Structure 1
Amino acid sequence: MEQTFVNGKVFVGTSETDFVSAFKVKDGRISWIGQTEQVDDPQAIDLHQQTVLPGLIDCHTHPKYIADALHGTACTPPNVNSIQEMIAALKASPQYGQGPDVWIEGWGFDETKLAEHRTPTVDDLDQVTTEQPIFIYRSDCHSSVGNSKALALAGIDQNTPDPKGGHIERFPDGRPTGFMREVAASQLLIRAKSAQSYENDVQNMVNSSDHYLENGIVAIGEMMGRLNPYPTLRLYQDAVKQGFKPRASIYYVYDELKPGQDLDPVGDDQLRVAGIKIFMDGSISGETADNSLPYPSGKRGVLLTDQTKLKTAIKFAQKHQLQAAVHAMGDAAIQLVLDTTCDLDPWLDDMPSIRIEHASLLSDQMLDQINHAKMWYGLSTQPIFFFAEDESYRSYLTPEQFKLAYRVKSMLKSKALTTLSSDAPCTPWAEPDSPFYSIYAAVTRQAANNDVVNIEEAITVPQAILGYTKWAAEIGGFTHNGTLEVGKSADFVILNKDIFNVSKDELATVNANETWFKGQCVYQKSSK
C-alpha cells in the first residue's frame, strides 16, 4: 500500500537547502518526493505545515549504558547538585529495598558540579544502604563508584592491585574509596554487576527502544561493543526479536579481543558489526585526557594506547575491513592518531576508514594535517560536552587550549566527514542524548550555565541537522538512512516546531511529535 503525505515542510537532507512539501511511501521506502500541488490523492495524510526531517542518527552513543540508566537514577544537574541530594535520589530509586541481589544503579555525576567538589565515596553510598550493591557511573562513563557491598561482590579490598590502564582510588590508610578511575577499573565492578541475568539485559534494551523513538532517533552507533560476558551483537539480535526498533552499528572494544581472534563485519541493514573501538585516553572533565600540557593539578592525563599498539589495532581493522573508531579527547592523543595514520591509504571506499571520536581539541595544524593526509577521516564530535561541562573545561584547560574546544565550524570546512552525536549517557545532563540540545549547543555555542564557548565555531541549523542525518548515516554505514530520497527507508520524524524558523533560544525545546520507521508510525507524543 502506498501512503501519501502533503502540506509539509520536508527537509530532504541532500543539502542545506533541499525541501519538498510532499512525498510518498511504499513498502517501507520513499517512493516519490515533490510538491503538494502535484498530488491528487483524497486519502493523503495532511501534515498541516509541520516540519519533517529524515530520521535522526546518533552515531556515537552507548545504548547498553542507556538501557541500564533508564531504570537507574540520574545523578546529574539540574536535579542532583550535591552528594546529599545524590543519597536522597538513590534512596528514591525503584531498586531501593528490592533485596540483596538487586543492584541500585545511577549515572551522570561530575564532582566539579557537586556542592562538595569531590567524588562520592563508599562511605557516602553506604549511607544509602549496605545491604544492596550500588554502582554509579561518572559522567564520562569511564570512571565509577560503588558502595561496600559492590566492592565486596567484585572482590576489591585494600590488597587488590590496580588493573592495567585503571586505578582503584584509596583512602590514606589504603582502604578503597569506592572510586574506580578509568574503564579498566570500572570493569571490575561491571563484571560483578553482570551477574544479573542475560534476560534482564535484553529486556532493558527492549524497554529503551521507545526512548530513542521519542527523541526522533532511528539509528545508533553502539560504541562499547563487548564480547564478554556475551557478544553485544547477540544482545541486540535478541532485543530486536522482542521489539527493539532502532538500527545499530556495533563497534567492539579492541582491548577485549584475544590474540589471534577474528572479527569480521557481519549483519544487515538492521544490525551490523561495523568496527573496533580504540581508547587512546580518558576525559577532559576527569583530568585523564592525554593533553600536551599538564592540568592545573599537575596531572598529565593517561595514554591508554601507545603508537605500537595503535598500529597493531589499525592493521587488524584493515585486515578485517572494519572501521577504526579511535577515542581521542586530549590534543596529544589526537596528534598521535594523526601522526600514526595520516600517510596510510584508506581501506574502506564508502565511509571513513578512521573515525576520531570526540576530537575535542583541534589546532589549525591538526586540521591542516587532516586536509593533506592520504587517510580520509571521520570526526564524530559532541557539542553536548561543552554545553554540560563548561566549568570543567574552563578549570582544566588553559585559555589557549579552551579556544581549540569543539571547533565544529572548522571541522566542517576540513576534508573530514564531520558528524554530531551524544556519547550518552557520558555527560552530566539529564537529557544527554537529546539531539535538540546538541543542535542548540552547536548553533548557539551557549552552555547550560549561559557561558558562550568559542562563538566563531557556531554552525547553522541545517548544518547541525545534516550532522544528525546525512553525514551521520555516511559515517556509520547506514546506507538506507540519512536522507528522504527515493529508495531510502521511510524513517522520518515530524517535529513539534519549525526548527528552521524558531529563535535560537528555542532550539532545545524542539522535539518529536511523531517518529516513523519503515513507513510505520512507531511513536506519537501524547496529547496530555
Structure 2
Amino acid sequence: MPTFKNAKIFLGTNATTFASAMNITDGLVTHIGETSEVTDPDAVDLHGKTVLPGIIDVHTHPKYIADALHGVACTPPKVNSITDMKAALKHSSAYGQSASTWIEGWGFDESKLAEHRSPTADDLDEVSTTQPIFIYRSDCHSSVGNSKALELAGIDANTPNPAGGFIGHFPDGRPNGYMKEVAATQLLIQAKSAQSYLDDVDNMANSSDHYLKNGIIAIGELMGRFRPYNSLQLYQDALVDGFKPKTAVYYVFNEIMPGQVVEPTSQDQLRIAGIKVFMDGSISGETAYNKAPYPDGKQGVLLTDADRLKQAVWYATEHHLQVAIHAMGDAAIQLVVDVTADLTPWLDDRPSIRIEHASLLSDQMLKEINRARMNYALVTQPIFFFAEDESYRTYLNDVQFKNAYRIKSMLNSNAMMALSSDAPCTPWEEPDSPFVGIYAAVTRTAANNDIVNADEAITVPEAVLAYTNTGARVGGFTHNGQLRPGYAGDFVVLDQDIFSVPTEKIKDIHVEQTWMAGEKVYQK
C-alpha cells in the first residue's frame, strides 16, 4: 500500500484541483489529500515534483512504432535528402543481414527533401537489392519499397491498383516502389509481416519502454488488422512478453469480411473497442478530401462514400462498437457530419463516433456538430501543424488554413476533444511526445517558429486534461484519466513543473518516473 507525499498532484478532475499526497492500495487510488495528513514513515517522498494522471494516447499506431523503433528515422534534421536517406539506411542495424531481414525506415516527406520528390525503388536498390527495404511516408498512408520488397509482395508491372490505393510506375511501366495510400501500402506490409510474426511480437514487447518513457500508460491502436494475422493476437502475445500499456484496438472496417462478427471486449488491459473508417488521406500528401482544390487542381481522394459509411455505422450499431473515422479534409468531415448528425447514439459510456484529426473545421461545421443528435468526439493532433506547417501553408488556401486545427473551438464545442499523436505518422523524430503536442496546442508555434492561428490556443491545464481525463473518456479507459479514489494508480512524475515553466520550455519536459497500479515501471 504505497503512500506518496510532497508532490504537486494534478488530479485530472478539472483545470485547478491539486493535492500533495495520495495512497494506492491493490492498484487503485484510495485516498487523495495533503502531505500534512501522512503518517506512514515509509511514504515515498516525491520532493515537490509535479504528478499527472497516466497519459493516454488515444490515437496511435503501436505496430508502426514498434517497427520504427528498430528502423531509420528519415526525418530532419538528420535526413534532408534522398542521398542522406540512403546513407542512413546503410547504417541501420538490419543492413547487411540475411535476405529475409527487412531494412525499415519512416517519416520521409518529399517536400522536405532536397530533391523535392519521393525516393524510388531504384534509389533504394542502391542501398540493397538482396534485402527488402520498406519506408513509411510521414503520413503512414503511403510508402516506398525497393525491388526486393516489390518482388516479395508479388508486385510487377501488371499488378492492378487495390481499391483506394495506387501503385506508382516508371515511364517504362515498371513499378517505381511508391505505394500511395493505405490499401497500396498494405501490400508491402502484409508481405513483411507474413515473414516475421515472432519478430513483430518481439518488437511490440520491446516497444513498451518507449511508451513508459513518455508517460503513456494507455493507447488506442487505430489500425487493427485481421491479415496477415489478428492484431489482438499480436498484443496478447506481446503482453506475455512484457508489453505494459493498456490497449484498445480498432479494426479497419474494410478488412472485416462479409458475415464476420467483431464484438467489443471489456478487459482493462487489452480490449476490442471499435472499428476504423478511412474517409480520405492526408493534407501533406495532397490526398485529404477538400472542398477547394489543391494547387494542382485536384481535391484529394475520397476513400469511403456515403453509402459505405452508412454500412460501417450500421455494423457498429449492431455490434455495439465505437466508430473512429479518419477525416482530415473539410469535404470529408462534412460528409461524416451529413451522414451521422441526425442518428441516435448507440453508446452511452463514450462517444459513438470519433472524428479523427478533424483538421479543417469551419464555423458552420462546428454549429452542425453542436446541434447534432449524435454524440461526437474530436480527436486531433497538434503535432501535425507543429511538424508540417510548410505543407499546410503550401497546399491550403487562406480560408482553409484559418480553419486548421481549431483546438480551442473543438474544446468549446459540444463534442469531447482529446489530443493524441497519430505516431509515427508525421515527420518528427519524437512524434508521440505528449509534451511537444501540449506545447503546440498551447503556443500554436510550429517547429519553424511560424504561428498557426494563435486564437485557437488552449491553456496548459486544458491540454493536460485532453491527454488524460478526456482521452480516457473518449477511448473508454474507464479506470484512468484521473487520480481520485477508485481510479487506477497510474501516474507520471515530471522533471519540470508543466504548469509553471515558461511555455516555450514545455516541449523540453521529460518524464522522470512512470507508475502503473502503484508500481514503478519506468525511472529516467
Q: Fold conserved (TM > 0.5)?
A: yes
How far off is 1:197 after superposition?
2.6
Partner deviation per Cα, 1:350-400 (whole Å, 9 max, x = no partner):
100000000000000000001000001001000000000000000000011
Q: What residue is the counterpart of 1:62 in the other structure?
A: 61
1:257-272 matches, cutoff 5 A? 257-272=256-271
Q: How many residues align?
A: 524
SS in 1 for 2:249: strand
Q: Distance in 1 between matches of 2:266 and 2:101?
A: 34
Cα pair 2:5 2:21 within 8 Å, conserved: yes
Alpha carbons 2:101, 2:132 under 8 Å: kept? yes
Distance 1:371 1:13 in 2: 25
- Counterpart of 1:238? 237
Shift of 1:144: 0.3
Counterpart-to-counterpart distance in 1, 2:484 and 2:365: 35
* 2:12 paired with 1:13: yes
Q: Superposition pairs for residues 513-528 of structure 1, below 5 Å? A: 513-525=512-524
Report how far residue 267 of structure 1 moved: 4.1
**CA–CA separation in structure 1 for the residues paired with 2:83 and 2:421:** 28
> Secondary structure in 1 aligned to 2:388?
helix
TM-superposed deviation, 1:196: 2.3
Query: 1:449 matched to which residue of 2?
Result: 448
Rounded to whole Å, the distance in 2 between the matches of 1:67 and 1:294 is: 36
In 2, the alpha carbon distance for the partners of 1:191 and 1:275 equals 22
Equivalent position SS for 1:308: helix
Task: Name the counterpart of 1:111.
Answer: 110
Instruction: Give the residue type in structure 2 aligned to 1:416.
Output: A
C-alpha distance in 1 between matches for 2:159 and 2:195: 23
Equivalent in the alignment of 1:140: 139
Q: Is the CA contact 2:194–2:228 (under 8 Å) kept in the aligned structure 1? A: no
Q: Compute the displacement of 1:265 (Å).
A: 0.4
SS in 1 for 2:205: helix
Aligned residue runs from structure 1 range 60-459, under 5 A: 60-459=59-458
For the residue of structure 2 that corresponds to 1:343, the secondary structure is coil
Q: Deviations over 1:425-484 (max 9, x none)?
A: 000000000000000000010001111100000000000000100000000000110000
Q: Gaps (5+ residues) in structure 1? A: none
Q: Deviations over 1:470-525 (max 9, x none)?
A: 00000000011000010111000000000000001100011100000111000000
Cα displacement string for residues 126-161 of structure 1 (whole angstroms, at most 9, x for unaligned residues): 111111110000000000000111111112121111
* Secondary structure in 1 matching 2:2: strand
Q: Contact (CA 8 Å) 2:246, 2:268: kept in 1 or not?
A: yes
Query: Contact (CA 8 Å) 2:388, 2:427: kept in 1 or not?
Result: yes
1:465-476 matches, within 5 Å, as 465-476=464-475
Q: Aligned equivalents of 1:287 and 1:522: distance in 2? A: 41
Displacement of 1:39: 1.6
Q: Distance in 2 between matches of 1:450 and 1:114?
A: 19
Q: Secondary structure at the match of 1:224?
A: strand
Gaps of 5+ in 2: none
1:313-349 per-position Cα deviation (integer Å, ceiling 9, x unaligned) = 0000000000010000000000000000000011000
Aligned to 2:462, the other structure's residue is in SS state helix
Q: Which runs of 4+ in 1 moved over 2 A?
A: none
